[in-house]
A and B are shown apart, each in its own frame.
Chain A
Amino acid sequence: MISTGNDIVALKAINVARTKQQNFYSKIITETEKALYDEQFSDRLAFEQFIWLAWSVKESVFKYLQRVNPELVFSPSKIKLTELELPAAEGVSHFEGRDFNKGAVYESVIDYTPHTFYSRTIITDDFIFSVVNHTNSFEKVMWGIKEIDSTDADDQSKAVRTFALAMLNTFFPESELEIDKNRHSCPIILKDDAEIPVPISLAHHDRWVAYSFALA
């Protein structure tokens, strides 16, 4: 199963006080995930960051699987973070590239029975960005994050396509590529009007857009 899923949460656009309310976060994480946070991470990671990290990872898993199963329903409570590893070093040096520097990003293991997923997450003051994969290797995953000057949904949609295509064109220099959506609203890459087997995932929130795609 080759697919990709990513998500971005703009931290300036979330309501921190509401995120900390039990009736809010309990719609996103289970009691077991809350216990994981309380026991291992409460002294090193703000609770609202944990909640939105969990959300972005779960949404990424949903996007990954929805490409394969278009009828899938997003059920945050059934997609469970079972392990989380915090970065050893502070910060990342770039917002676009291939793979992730070991020790510079958050890593998690996710159980969505019968599937197991692995994630990489970057947290800055501005956003939380996650990508998931079905193996614990991201060597074939390209990703990018960019700030744009509009929060309009149509502008975000255009901007993220232009951003992703710039990177895609470096891999397919002789081709006229386009990004469209299939009948299930899943983004696809077209070359001469035919879909190519490179799964792509797009995300946007507030002024931030992001993509991931998986090379064969």
Chain B
Amino acid sequence: MTREETLNELKKVIAPYTINKEMLAGINDQTDLIRDLKINSANLVDIIIDAEAKYDIEIDYDSADKMTNVGSCLDVITEKINQK
């Protein structure tokens, strides 16, 4: 899966938790989940769980802590996919 394909899938994971659909369409590595997409912090675990199901991976504590912006989410997901 290319980084762009992973990004497109990640948009689907994030979509239920943001009302900022315009910004979601144009997200990049620097897009912050809370600050830019206005995702409530209470939904961050939902995104991690949904990403685990979507990519059939397991995201450990330390990796989950890093998932604060789109770039770090893609890095963690790619790393876990490659470890399968």
Interface of A toward B, CB cutoff 8 Å:
7, 9, 13-15, 18, 21, 23-24, 27-28, 52, 55, 59, 73-77, 152-153, 185, 204-206
Contact = CB atoms under 8 A, between A and B. Distances in A.
A28 B45 contact: yes
Contacts of A75: 61-62, 65
A205 B42 contact: yes
B46 to A, nearest CB: 7
A27 B19 CA distance: 24
Given A73-B65, A75-B65, A77-B61, A152 B19 contact: yes
State the majority secondary structure of interface residues on B: helix
Nearest to A27: B45
B52 interface: yes
Contact of A13 (B42, B49, B64): B42
A27 B49 contact: yes
Interface size band for B: 10 to 19
Contact of B46 (A18, A52, A153): A18
B3 interface: no
Given A18-B49, A73-B68, A185-B35, A27 B61 contact: yes
Contacts of B62: 75
Contacts of B20: 153
A13 B19 CA distance: 15
Interface in B26-77: 35, 38, 40-42, 45-46, 48-49, 52, 61-62, 64-66, 68
B81 to A, nearest CB: 18
Contact of A59 (B35, B41, B46): B41
Given A27-B64, A185-B35, A205 B40 contact: yes
Given A27-B64, A75-B65, A14 B42 contact: yes
Nearest to B62: A75
21 contacts: A7-B41, A9-B42, A14-B42, A15-B46, A21-B49, A24-B45, A27-B48, A27-B49, A27-B61, A27-B64, A28-B45, A73-B66, A73-B68, A74-B68, A75-B61, A75-B65, A77-B61, A77-B65, A153-B20, A204-B40, A205-B40
Given A14-B42, A59-B41, A23 B65 contact: no
B68 to A, nearest CB: 7
Contact of A55 (B42, B49, B52): B42
